A and B are shown apart, each in its own frame.
Chain A
Amino acid sequence: MSADGQGRSHWFDDEAGPVVRPYAMTRGRTTSAAQHRLDLIAVVVTEPHAGDPEADSTLSPEHVEIVGLCRQTPQSVAELSAELDLPVGVVRVLVGDLVDGEFVHVNRPVPPAEMVDESILRDVIDGLRAL
């Protein structure tokens, strides 16, 4: 501890990023019931007939924002994290809540144990060539 009472001897450094307390937003939860861990590229899609999330008093402004963002353009968990400037772990919990509330659904990418369809790989190559 230094003289001003602010301990500076943390094991992390600036490069590791700031100290954050984002789990206040998830009311302390680090997992949600709906969770089988969402992949970074899992795509969140707002249900076309989802009700108005703002009318639901159990939802936070961040929940409402996710529903809004994914209504027009489905977004990956990574994109939501960057857009909302929230850690991925927090976004996962929030999306889990929204899945439970049937505001959104999540399209998961190809499961790790399975192989990507060869025709998709061909499409990727063609798509890259055409860029």
Chain B
Amino acid sequence: MIFGRSERGKPPVEPVTLKILVAGGFGVGKTTLVGAVSEIRPLRTEELLTEAGRPVDDTSGVEGKRTTTVAMDFGRITLREDLVLYLFGTPGQERFWFMWDELSEGALGAVVLADTRRLQDCFAAVDYFERRGIPFVVGVNCFEGAARYPAETVRQALDLDPGVPLLLTDARDRESVKEVLIGVVQHAMAFQAERREAVTT
């Protein structure tokens, strides 16, 4: 949807934008992870429930309807003047899962943040991305005081496909989070190459 523009004047740079999702259970450190690498303090955007749930919720009578909102925290990384990466924390509450479909549309990939003390909290996210064929990595957030388990044990407990990378991380640490994000993009590249092959053969 780009209208013809005059070449005169100096137009502002129009960046290519990409997004990576950060999923995981409530309180696992999603916003902390976003904040560790974002150049802005994580911002909050809201979607109205009646609006977001449009396919199942008729909005024609919105004037008489009580509405409520679902919040999403996000951060931004300007990689180049013309290349911007956004990180979106997915809403934690399970009743807001319909939002995930919109968030994951066009997403490069995802990080599923896991806490070994409550590993079950991220099962649903792993399942979601597996089913929709969205490339993801699992980041095990190594909280202070949390027992460390060998990666292989966590992998088994999550029943991860062998191709899914599992990385140990500290959501507060910028360098560590950078590695996780690089892991997502690398995995997305491998994922795309595989799909291309599947299409051409």
- Which residues of A does B touch, CB under 8 Å? 10, 12, 15-23, 28, 30, 34, 36, 39-43, 45-49, 71-74, 76, 78-79, 81-83, 87-90, 99, 102, 105-112, 115-116, 118, 120-125, 127-131
Q: How far, in whole Å, are A12 and B37 apart by their CA atoms in the complex?
A: 32
Say yes or no: A120 contacts B178, CB within 8 Å. no
Q: Please name all residues of chain B whose beta carbon is closer than 8 Å to the beta carbon of A111 when the two chains form the complex.
A: 106
CB-defined A-B contacts under 8 Å, sample of 24: A10-B66, A12-B68, A16-B69, A17-B46, A18-B69, A28-B63, A40-B19, A40-B102, A47-B3, A49-B6, A78-B43, A78-B45, A81-B45, A87-B46, A87-B51, A89-B48, A105-B2, A105-B3, A109-B18, A115-B192, A116-B108, A125-B185, A128-B77, A128-B85
- Stretch of B7-15, B120-128, B136-144 with 4 or more beta carbons under 8 angstroms from chain A: B7-15
Q: How far, in whole Å, are A99 and B2 apart by their CA atoms in the complex?
A: 10
Q: How far, in whole Å, are A89 and B68 apart by their CA atoms in the complex?
A: 12
Known contacts A23-B62, A73-B12; decide if A82 and B1 are in contact (CB<8 Å): no
Say yes or no: A22 contacts B66, CB within 8 Å. no
Q: Please name all residues of chain B whose beta carbon is closer than 8 Å to the beta carbon of A118 when the two chains form the complex.
A: 189, 192
Say yes or no: A129 contacts B178, CB within 8 Å. yes
Known contacts A125-B182, A131-B178; decide if A17 and B1 are in contact (CB<8 Å): no
Known contacts A22-B48, A30-B59; decide if A74 and B12 are in contact (CB<8 Å): yes
Say yes or no: B66 contacts A19, CB within 8 Å. yes
Summed over the interface, the residue pairs from A and B with CB atoms below 8 Å come to a total of: 180
Q: Please name all residues of chain A whose beta carbon is closer than 8 Å to the beta carbon of B37 when the two chains form the complex.
A: 131
Say yes or no: B3 contacts A102, CB within 8 Å. yes
Q: Looking across the interface, which residue of chain A has its beta carbon closest to that of B37?
A: A131
Q: Please name all residues of chain A whose beta carbon is closer than 8 Å to the beta carbon of B79 when the two chains form the complex.
A: 123-124, 127-128, 130-131
Q: How far, in whole Å, are A18 and B174 apart by their CA atoms in the complex?
A: 33
CB distance from B82 to the nearest CB of A (A): 10
Say yes or no: A121 contacts B189, CB within 8 Å. yes
CB distance from A9 to the nearest CB of B (A): 12
Q: Is B181 an interface residue (CB 8 A)?
A: yes
| Set A23, A45, A105, A106: member contacting B63, Cβ < 8 A | A23
Q: How far, in whole Å, are A102 and B70 apart by their CA atoms in the complex?
A: 31
Q: Please name all residues of chain A whose beta carbon is closer than 8 Å to the beta carbon of B49 when the two chains form the complex.
A: 12, 16
| Set B1, B44, B76: member contacting A108, Cβ < 8 A | B1
